[in-house]
A = this chain, B = another copy of it.
Amino acid sequence: MAKRNGSSTLSENVTKKLKSDILTGQYKPGSPLTVSELTKGFDVSVAVVREALTRLATQGLVLQNPNYGFSVKTASEEELNSIVEARLINESAALRLSIAHGDLTWESNVIAVHHKLSQTAEYEEVDHKLFVREEWSDLHRQFHYELIAACPNPLLLDICRRLWDLSEFYRHWSFQQQPTRDGRDEHKALMDAVLGRDSDRAVEIFRTHIQLTADNLFDNR
C-alpha cells in the first residue's frame, strides 16, 4: 500500500482487502480489529483504516462499539438462519424478475458460468483435511449472481450481494469440516429451470439448495 495507483483511493483498496481478509477467514469471529495494528499492516494512516472499518461496519461485516473500537462480526446458528431466510426472500424475488426479463445474452452467460463451475473441483486436501477451493467458491458466487443478473432492480441486487457476503462469512467459520453432499446436480437442475423460464420450479430448487447448504454448515459438528 502507501502508494495510490490508478484513480482509486487508498480507502477503497484497504476496504476491499480488509473485506476479503474477513470473508476468507483471516480473522476469527469476534476478534478485535485494532486500528493501530491495521495501520501498521497496511502501512496507511488511521484515517484510511477507520474509513474502511466504518464502511464494513455499516455493511454488517464488522462490529463497532463506540469508544471501544471495532471487531470482526460474531457467528451464531441463529444469525445464519436469519441470513438464509433473508436470502430466500430477496434472491427468490430477484430470480423471478431475472427469469422474466433475461435476454439471449443473459442465457448464454448463465450457461457459460455453469459450464466452468461444473468443470471445477470443489474441494482440495490440505494436511488430510478437505477445504473448499477459492476458485470454486468464486465461480459458485458468479453462477448464483449470473442467475439473478437480469433482474432490473439494482436495489434488490445490492441487497442480494450484501446478504451473499454475510453467507460467505459463515462458509469459513462453521463447524462443518466434511463435505456431505454434492451440489452439482442441484446447480444443473436450477439452470435448466431458469433457462426453461420456469420460475416456480427454479425458486423451489433454489430454496432447497440454499437451505441444505446452510443446514450442512452447522450439522455434523
Contacts and interface: CB of A to CB of B under 8 A. Distances in A.
Interface stretch (A7-15, A174-182, A183-191, A206-214): A7-15
A86 B93 CA distance: 9
Contacts of A54: 51, 54-55, 58
A158 B159 CA distance: 11
Contact of A82 (B9, B51, B58, B155): B155
A154 B78 CA distance: 10
Q: Which interface class (under 10, 10 to 19, 20 to 34, 35 or more) fits A?
A: 20 to 34
Contact of A156 (B9, B47, B82, B154): B82
A22 to B, nearest CB: 15
A159 B67 CA distance: 26
A137 interface: no
A9 B67 CA distance: 7
